[in-house]
Homo-oligomer: A and B are copies of this chain.
Amino acid sequence: MYTNNIFSVNMYIQILNKGFIFMFRYREVYSDIKRDILTNHYRAGHALPTQDELANKYDISRITLKKSIHLLEEEGLVFSKQGSGTFVRQRMNNQSGELLPLDLPVGVTYSHRDQKITSKILYFDARLPSKEEQKNLQIKGNEPVYEIKRLRLINGEKYSFEHTLMPVSIAPLDEKIIQGSIYDYLGSKAKLQLTDAQRIVYAEAADEEAASILGVKAASPLFVIKQTAYDQRGRAFEYSISKFIGDQSQFVLDVHLNK
């Protein structure tokens, strides 16, 4: 029976793999449990079934199940208490619903919410990188970079001012492409995905350029994200500085220590 079990699971993965949808078992189980939490099938403050029960239900080993649970923990949906159980966390205070996850690219969030994100191109050219840019993008001084300045709009409303640098060697760009989502383009064209990023965040007073572009008073507070983006192969492919209107954008971050 166990052998049978192993076989069936592997077959299952293979089928998925060679078919259209590809997913690992622990991701499927994670998604399934997540749905059950979000639909209140598992209620906030209450315990999930035990790990043994869940492993049994999904016909997977406990180790695999733990991997699923671990994803839920990282997402802040549940927490485990040794000797006691795994509990659904109380729903967070969602305030105005206008919070953006700080650990996701901004574009992703808004697309998911069916809001229309557009861009007005302010500047587009290629040039050689400065010392600082060479360091951030891990490239040499003779490798040209695209420089892009865009005003991003959500449903037509001014939202953020983005200054982006990308090595030309990553993929050819043109005005039409940068009108939309660069990430989408890079995903299909260069098979390149954002998998890691370092973000430096701070508040600053708007300089004249940012103020006029965003339509706010000079010196009004801006929220700034400086991001270096890495693809699945560990290559830095983008360095960007995004400035958001202070009293208009709030970001949320779930922090999990230990473990």
Contact = CB atoms under 8 A, between A and B. Distances in A.
A204 B197 CA distance: 25
Nearest to A132: B93
Contacts of A21: none
A256 B89 CA distance: 22
A253 B221 contact: no
Nearest to A231: B79
A251 B197 CA distance: 14
Given A205-B246, A253-B253, A257-B194, A200 B90 contact: no
A188 to B, nearest CB: 17
Contacts of A232: 79, 81
Interface stretch (A35-43, A96-104, A166-174): A96-104
A203 B256 contact: no
A2 interface: no
B198 A76 contact: yes
Given A93-B228, A196-B257, A200-B250, A205 B234 contact: no
Given A228-B92, A258-B195, A251 B99 contact: no
Contacts of A76: 196, 198
Given A234-B87, A257-B104, A196 B251 contact: no
- If over half of A's interface residues share one DSSP class (helix, strand or loop), that class is named, otherwise mixed; here it is strand
Instruction: Give how many copies assemble into the complex.
Output: 2
A201 interface: yes
A163 interface: no
A246 B202 contact: yes
Contacts of A136: 93
A255 B199 contact: yes
B203 A236 contact: no
Interface in A189-239: 193-205, 219-224, 228, 230, 232-234, 236
Interface of A: 63, 76, 79, 81, 87, 89-90, 92-93, 95, 99, 102-104, 132, 135-136, 138, 193-205, 219-224, 228, 230, 232-234, 236, 244, 246-247, 249-258
